[in-house]
Structure 1
């Protein structure tokens, strides 16, 4: 019995990605008799969805949690919905693709809700003293893409596997580095951050709440 966890490789001007670090750290851990299988996805619009689908076909997971970096957010963001649009904004993917106002999939399905118990997960994290909130926007980059495209795939295959997306903030080391790069000694702001240990615990609690929900 497998719990599928994915993170993303570094992208843009980030040298690290805590979602990749958490996926690697939790790989092989057990929660309620289920083993976490952690994987790092490429930040590429033309590869990510198919790689996730291959992982689902290979592992037949009991639950799926995809994660990614939201560098400006102050805590754990549990996403409620993915929308049918790719738009890279100011950040091309790692293959230099720059989609603008493109559909992820043809058709009229505007969005898919996460099937994890979003509110219950956030309640559990807050009870554990982990800063967290329900987020109603996963953006339009690859974090949104993986939520929308995976839910579309699960529906098409008639799979009732709980799945959702969790945005993670910077680690303190990342925040300090960005402050150094941004003249933090001259009054520049510091990105909000959470320790990697707290971020990893948030994902453990997300899986545990999903299994018990």
Structure 2
């Protein structure tokens, strides 16, 4: 199985993004039955999706696992649904890495309001829990870059009727990030990497 795994660069004033380190390590893993490819995406609205789809068109993977940071969460959270919306709330100080702050904009004006993940999210969560890894299904990928990426991927698969599964998984902050913010929930890199490997093995079943 050819699997493309993506992560994001650092954003929001953080000097690190734990998904970058996950990507570096998973790229060196030898997993029987899996051909792993990796890609770092920019934290920029729409450009994130364009970069991903460029690689998808050339690589033609069997599965795509997009990984992102959800600072404040306590578990690894596969996303169940992406919504057709790009929005930074007006009261928020957040922007993407180019300073963009879209509000009430559709990702695809002609696309459905929402698209469900094509990954077996319940099986992924159950498999991680069986290995003692904190995991739970999430029903909101937000309206920022992660949702933008997830929706664009699922919409591309839908429009082109591709024999491909894909979706998004959020990871908590790393212990390294929590060292600078002691009240920030976190998981160790080793636990998150184990979770990612469990998800890959689950897809291979």
Q: Give the TM-score taking structure 1 as reference length.
A: 0.91
1:201 equivalenced with 2:194 (yes/no): yes
Aligned equivalent of 1:105, options 93, 105, 108:
108
Counterpart CA distance in 2 for 1:63 and 1:117 is: 11
Moved more, 163-172 or 100-109: 100-109
Tell me, what secondary structure is at the counterpart of 2:186?
coil
- The within-5 A match list for 1:51-90 is 51-89=51-89, 90=92
Corresponding residue of 2:185: 192
Q: What is the total number of aligned residue pairs between the two structures?
A: 202
Over aligned residues, Cα RMSD in angstroms?
Answer: 1.2
Counterpart CA distance in 2 for 1:165 and 1:30 is: 22
1:30 equivalenced with 2:23 (yes/no): no
Counterpart CA distance in 1 for 2:86 and 2:31 is: 34
Moved more, 76-85 or 18-27: 18-27
Corresponding residue of 1:165: 168
Q: Does the 8 Å CA contact 2:80/2:137 hold for their aligned counterparts?
A: yes
Q: CA deviation at 1:7?
A: 0.4
Corresponding residue of 1:185: none
Tell me, what secondary structure is at the counterpart of 2:104?
coil
Tell me, what secondary structure is at the counterpart of 1:132?
coil
Unpaired runs of 5+ in structure 1? 180-189
Counterpart CA distance in 1 for 2:39 and 2:176 is: 22
Unpaired runs of 5+ in structure 2? none
Q: CA deviation at 1:46?
A: 3.1
Q: Does the 8 Å CA contact 1:162/1:210 hold for their aligned counterparts?
A: no
Q: CA deviation at 1:110?
A: 0.4
Counterpart CA distance in 2 for 1:158 and 1:28 is: 31
Corresponding residue of 1:13: 13
Moved more, 117-126 or 53-62: 53-62
Counterpart CA distance in 1 for 2:67 and 2:180 is: 22
Q: Does the 8 Å CA contact 1:29/1:35 hold for their aligned counterparts?
A: no
Q: CA deviation at 1:57?
A: 1.5
Deviations 1:124-157 (A, max 9, x none): 0000000000000000001111111100001111
Q: CA deviation at 1:211?
A: 2.2
